[in-house]
Amino acid sequence: MKEPSLNVDVSEAPFWQNAAIFVVCWIIKLWQATIRFKCSEETARMFRSKGPMIVLIWHNRIFITPMLKVRYRKNDKMSGLISPSKDGAALAAMFKFFGVSAIRGSSKRRGALAIRELVDELKSGGDICITPDGPRGPMYHIKGGALKVAELSGANMLIIRSR
């Protein structure tokens, strides 16, 4: 099998964008304080478990990812799969503010390497968060990448629904 290249360009947010993201993150923190969470006993049990977990969140609900980390897995390491694009750079900077590290990759760029990094993260005990429908959709349809990571890692998978 051909080894994926480690020299693939990954965009990073410029200084001005990081400054704007800082302000937006504080607004999100205020917004988070107004949100109520209600989950089933099974979901609560999974959040309380100590093993690594794959959390799936629909792409249009991605901003609840930091809340999950802060409310339910505060002391656990969490990483999110984020596009290596310029838009992804802004999201990675925002996630960093909330303590969620970024694993950069997509189906078009760094895909195989990102899957390997996600599996390694799970095997080292960290949680990962993936948007299984991706930015290009179709909305609410799970693509194969998240299932491949679950298959390779053996980690539990939790699908989050919010409204």
For residue 97, what is the domain's CATH number?
Answer: 3.40.50
- Domain membership of residue 1 (yes or no) is no
Does residue 104 sit within a domain? yes
Tell me, yes or no, whether 48 lies in a domain: yes
Question: What pLDDT does 6 receive?
Answer: 46
Which one is predicted more confidently, 107 or 6? 107
H or E segment to which residue 130 belongs: strand 127-130
| pLDDT, greater one: 96 or 13 | 96
Could you give the CA distance from residue 65 to residue 80 in angstroms, rounded to a whole number?
8
Residue 2 lies in a domain: no
70 has pLDDT over 50: yes
Non-local (6+) Cβ contacts of 123 within 8 A are 52, 153
Q: Name the average pLDDT for the chain.
A: 86
CA-CA distances (angstroms) from residue 131 to 7, 24, 121, 159? Answer: 25, 21, 17, 10
Collapsed DSSP state (helix, strand, coil) of residue 37: coil
What is the reported pTM? 0.82
Residue 6 lies in a domain: no
First to last CA, the chain: 42
In this structure, the dihedral spanned by the alpha carbons of residues 140, 146, 71 and 86, taken in order and rounded to 10 degrees, is -80
Q: Provide the domain limits for residue 92.
A: 15-160
Q: Is residue 69 part of a domain?
A: yes
Q: Is 30 inside any structural domain?
A: yes
Please tell me the distance from the alpha carbon of residue 54 to that of residue 157, in angstroms, as a whole number. Answer: 5
Domain count, the chain: 1
10 in a structural domain: no
pLDDT for 10 equals: 57
